[in-house]
Amino acid sequence: MRFLSLLSFIAVLVTPALTQDQIPPGVAFLYNANITVGLSVDVGAIPAGNVTVIPVIGGALIGPQISGKILAIGADWGLSTPQGAYFSDMRAQIRTMDNANIYVQMSGLMQRNDGLIYVRATFQTGHKDYWWLNYAFAFGTMRASGTGFMVEMWRLTY
């Protein structure tokens, strides 16, 4: 009994107090990218809507820690639903200026009819200089531009 109350006393000491206000996490800029796309392929109507594949044929990205080009590998497997939503599901390959190969996967739901999509992104690479990208919690915006998409990418910092 006495032991238990000592334990709960310690628990009160180590448990952070719940408050209404939290300090928001920080964000760090990752890159701006231009993605050039090719002629889309119409997969047709599936039970969830219409799938259109928009091939990635190139591009460039620039940021404080990562810059390079986007290879002609990948596409956006977009789903248009009967409710008028557009789900973007893009996979692409980045080749940095120092020759690291990074796989990026982006997904998101179109926010507005002007084409703005909030995207979340994950990265995979074995390159030691970009190892941190495997753990990055990344997000940003993607919007249609003349030749493809413009992407602005950020990551969460704590």
Ligand X SMILES: *[C@@H]1O[C@H](CO)[C@@H](O)[C@H](O)[C@H]1NC(C)=O
Which chain residues interact with ligand X by CB under 6 A?
A: 32-34, 45, 49-50, 60-62, 80-82
Give bridge partners of residue 137 from the DSSP assignment: none
Q: How far is the CB of 113 from ligand X (least distance, A)?
A: 14
Listing DSSP states for 60-99 in one string gives: EEE-SS--EEEEEEEEEEEEE-TTS-EEEEEEEEEEETT-
Query: Which lies closer to ligand X via its Cβ, residue 64 or residue 82?
Result: 82
Q: How far is the CB of 122 from ligand X (least distance, A)?
A: 20
Query: Which lies closer to ligand X via its Cβ, residue 86 or residue 130?
Result: 86
**110 CB-side CA count, 13 A:** 17
Please return the burial class of 20, using the count of CB atoms within 10 Å of its CB with bins 0-12, 13-18 and 19+: exposed
Q: How far is the CB of 75 from ligand X (least distance, A)?
A: 18
Query: Which lies closer to ligand X via its Cβ, residue 16 or residue 146?
Result: 146
Q: Tell me how far apart the alpha carbons of residues 96 and 105 are, in angstroms, rounded to a whole number.
A: 16
Q: Tell me how far apart the alpha carbons of residues 8 and 22 are, in angstroms, rounded to a whole number.
A: 25
Query: Which lies closer to ligand X via its Cβ, residue 19 or residue 83?
Result: 83
Answer whether 156's CB lies under 8 Å from 137's CB: yes
Q: How far is the CB of 50 from ligand X (least distance, A)?
A: 4
